[in-house]
Structure 1
Amino acid sequence: MTWNVQELFRRHACEIARALRRRGLSEDVAADLTQDTFLRVLANPPADTVQNHNPRAYLFEVSRNLSINHYRRQVKDPTIDVDGDTMLRIADPSPSVETAVYSRQMLKQVAEALDELPQNTREAFILHRIDGMTVAEVGRKLGLSSTRAWELVHRAYKHLLMRVD
């Protein structure tokens, strides 16, 4: 027998969530466990050899077992609700040590690669990428045509892509 989980969900999801809330679970947890119930049934439907299929009873049994597991986890490792302000004070916005080291290594590679470029190419790239000038503005500043300024910037990009990991 094949179960139409979509149809079962339409028919029984609200009922299961309501039963979980009556067991003392919050609305959010009940909704999560209801979803988990159907995911569990979708992933592992009952064997075809089982007689007298009662999908509704089976779904309620699965949801009940999931709620028991939830309560057991809460006893072992209780969670607490934290408001947004408290969470911002707890979370550390600074990058990890690994991220900082990696960023320094990347900056060193970029600086070395830029030092390898001819003066005009390096200056065009810095004006465009670091100072935020358009290619036309870079050309005017360096006394070059826009096409030549773009060639210099493009050459710098290609060089950096080849040299930096």
Structure 2
Amino acid sequence: MFKDKEKLLSAFTDQRNALTRFLARRLGCHALAEDLAQETWLRLASSQPAGIANPRAYLFRVASNLALDHQRHVGLGVEVEASEATMEAVSDPQPTPEATALHRSELTHLLRRLDALPPRCREVFILAKFEELSYAEIAERLGIAKNTVMVHMVKALASLERARHDGGRTEER
């Protein structure tokens, strides 16, 4: 099962740009496409796949279904009028102090996990996820093959996923 999940996550990292373009063409909005690509990632990361013959096709099917769900939701166009008293009863959208503390703690754990990665692996991950460089751009910048970039990304993602499931422990396996 872990190998199937790794294949899916590897397919995602390899096809992320193509997936985003696919969603942008379908939805007509690049920002929304980015959001749904991220949602696709979350779905894949939290799934328990078994025996997926074509990870790329599965990835695009998940994204396509999410786009369809979004279009259905938008198509409903449900709007209601609410009285001023009702509007005042709605809670403040700002996060509570507890939620803020929890998010900061999660960020601290993520940064620790990133620090535990091997230096080149961490560098590739940061360039891809934070600087949003393509694998080809990363390969050129670091003077390594694109396949090596993919290997580092798969290793980083798998390590972060393991750390997430291990309750935040960051030791190497």
TM more than 0.5: no
TM-score w.r.t. the length of structure 1 is: 0.44
| TM-score, normalised with respect to structure 2 | 0.43
Name which structure has the greater RCO, CA cutoff 8 Å, separation 6+. 2
